[in-house]
């Protein structure tokens, strides 16, 4: 059996990953996959810290189930198809200070919805409405949202962010010294310089083995009702745009040898969210921005997800009582730089939109709405694109 060895990432292009004799792509675990594994921590860490400190979610179950889902995605898809916290649910839960049980209840009904949508094929008629300008607009808007969020985080420490940006640009396509490794090193070294008290906090890190607890008995029917009305339903439009349509298009363009379908992605998200709450995990999805981050920093296979998932599981099992302290070694400005590059990687995909004025116009309008609401952007894009194609309106 012959293997095609993978090449380095150069000029933003993905090299061919290793292929087994049976035609199935192997997951790689080289230094570029290790670097790419951290390409999505810009969204992961802030949400995890907020869930732990504000909602009072047990970090053991949260990180353990997150890690398990990452392993499943990495081994099954064999691409850096990410696992992320559901943004609308996370933001609403953090702002509303709800109980962990209500959050778990929303995870169960979220899982049921997407499992049903995928298993029955009910998602297909919706996704068929998404033409290329609509999809590109969603990706552009999401990319800009990441970049804007990144800039907001970078201005908290502009000098540190400036140094990190320059270093990252210089090393971004370097196959020998992954930019992410240097970026993380800058963050770890600068953390105690900016906040000397962090050294005393790190000294309090406790090592102790614990297993996650079965959380289902703590969830009541009232928790499920509250979670469904306040979190599950508002999340659906965002997930359709970002975590079904956009991620499918992104994966299939970057990895044409490992294509996925909207129906399969919906089913995958259903399974994740049915299992996750049972052991204290949060609602999760396959967000397009996460793949952009993993790929931008070197990932070409599911190996990056397996690496990150393993690290999260080990952290959960042995350091769950110290997670909030450990994550403080990643300054907010460094997370902002990671978000900025992930957003730019996602946004640049729209370069193939073509020269047709109407397509470009639809993409821009959808992008603008996507920075506000993914579901609204999807609806506006469908209406505008069809109106232009049928000649009902002209620009």
Residue 114 CA from chain centroid, whole number: 17
Q: Which residue has the higher pLDDT, 96 or 63?
A: 63
Residue 284 bridge partners (DSSP): 85
Which residues neighbour 131 within 8 Å (Cβ) at sequence distance 6 or greater? 362, 381, 382, 385
- Domain boundaries in the chain? 31-389
How many angstroms separate the CA atoms of 381 and 395, rounded? 15
How many angstroms separate the CA atoms of 6 and 124, rounded? 34
What is the average per-residue pLDDT within 275-290?
93
Asked if residue 309 has pLDDT above 70, the reply is yes
Of 315, 304, 351, the closest CA to residue 143 belongs to: 351
Asked if residue 167 has pLDDT above 50, the reply is yes
Percent of the chain with pLDDT over 90: 61
Q: What are phi and psi of 207, to 5 degrees?
A: -105, 125
What is the average per-residue pLDDT within 260-282?
96
Determine the pLDDT at residue 20: 46
Q: pLDDT tens across 348-391, in order?
A: 888 888 889 999 999 999 999 988 877 788 889 999 999 999 89
Q: pLDDT tens across 213-256, in order?
A: 998 888 999 999 988 988 888 888 878 888 899 999 999 999 99
What is the DSSP track for 35-53?
HHHTTTHHHHHHHHHHIII
Q: Which residue has the higher pLDDT, 330 or 374?
A: 330
Asked if residue 2 has pLDDT above 50, the reply is no
Instruction: Output the six-digit token pair for 3.
Output: 């293997």
Determine the pLDDT at residue 18: 53
Determine the pLDDT at residue 19: 52
Q: pLDDT tens across 152-164, in order?
A: 999 999 999 999 9
Using pLDDT thresholds of 50, 70 and 90, give the confidence band for residue 337: very high
Residue 12: CB atoms within 10 A of its CB come to 12
Q: pLDDT tens across 3-39, in order?
A: 333 333 334 444 456 554 445 789 999 999 999 999 9
| CA angle (174, 41, 269) in 5-degree steps | 115
Composition of the chain by helix, strand, coil, percent to 5: 70, 0, 30
How many angstroms separate the CA atoms of 375 and 238, rounded? 5
Q: pLDDT tens across 177-225, in order?
A: 999 999 999 999 999 999 898 888 888 888 889 999 998 888 999 999 9
Q: What is the pTM of this model?
A: 0.87
How many angstroms separate the CA atoms of 262 and 246, rounded? 9
How many angstroms separate the CA atoms of 242 and 146, rounded? 12
How many angstroms separate the CA atoms of 308 and 66, rounded? 10
As a whole number, the mean pLDDT across the chain is 89
Q: Which 3 state secondary structure label does DSSP give 284?
A: strand
Asked if residue 68 has pLDDT above 70, the reply is yes
Map tokens 């400190």 to a residue. Answer: 53
How many angstroms separate the CA atoms of 109 and 116, rounded? 10
What is the average per-residue pLDDT within 108-129?
92
Residues 105 and 219 sit within 8 Å (Cβ to Cβ): yes
Q: Which 3 state secondary structure label does DSSP give 272?
A: helix
Of 348, 320, 282, the closest CA to residue 90 belongs to: 282
Asked if residue 393 has pLDDT above 50, the reply is yes
Instruction: Output the six-digit token pair for 329.
Output: 């070694």
């Amino acid at each position: 059996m012959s293997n095609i060895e993978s090449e380095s990432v150069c000029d933003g292009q993905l090299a061919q990953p290793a292929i087994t004799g049976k035609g199935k792509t192997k997951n790689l675990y080289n230094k570029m996959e290790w670097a790419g594994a951290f390409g999505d921590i810009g969204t992961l860490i802030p949400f995890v810290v907020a869930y732990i400190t504000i909602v009072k979610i047990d970090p053991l179950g949260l990180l353990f189930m997150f890690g398990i889902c990452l392993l499943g995605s990495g081994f099954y898809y064999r691409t850096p198809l990410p696992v992320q916290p559901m943004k609308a649910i996370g933001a609403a839960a953090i702002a509303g200070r709800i109980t962990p049980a209500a959050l778990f209840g929303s995870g169960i009904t979220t899982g049921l919805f997407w499992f049903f949508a995928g298993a029955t094929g009910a998602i297909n008629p919706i996704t068929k409405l998404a033409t290329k300008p609509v999809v590109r607009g969603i990706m552009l808007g999401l990319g800009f949202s990441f970049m804007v969020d990144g800039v907001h985080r970078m201005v908290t420490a502009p000098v540190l962010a400036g140094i990190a940006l320059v270093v990252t640009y210089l090393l971004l396509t370097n196959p020998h010294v992954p930019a992410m490794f240097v970026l993380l090193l800058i963050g770890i070294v600068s953390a105690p310089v900016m906040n000397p008290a962090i050294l005393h906090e790190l000294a309090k890190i406790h090592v102790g083995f614990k297993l996650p607890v079965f959380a289902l008995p703590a969830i009541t029917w009232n928790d499920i009702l509250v979670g469904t009305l306040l979190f599950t339903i508002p999340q659906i439009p965002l997930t359709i745009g970002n975590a079904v349509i956009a991620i499918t298009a992104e994966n299939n363009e970057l990895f044409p040898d490992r294509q996925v379908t909207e129906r399969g992605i919906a089913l995958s998200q259903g399974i994740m969210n049915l299992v996750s709450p049972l052991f204290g995990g949060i609602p999760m999805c396959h967000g397009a921005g996460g793949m952009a981050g993993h790929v931008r920093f070197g990932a070409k296979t599911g190996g990056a997800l397996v690496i990150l998932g393993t690290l999260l599981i080990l952290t959960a099992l042995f350091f769950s009582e110290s997670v909030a302290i450990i994550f403080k070694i990643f300054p907010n400005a460094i997370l902002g730089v990671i978000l900025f590059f992930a957003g730019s990687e996602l946004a640049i995909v729209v370069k193939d939109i073509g020269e047709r004025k109407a397509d470009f116009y639809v993409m821009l309008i959808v992008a603008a709405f996507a920075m506000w609401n993914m579901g609204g952007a999807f609806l506006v894009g469908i209406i505008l694109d069809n109106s232009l194609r049928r000649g009902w309106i002209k620009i």
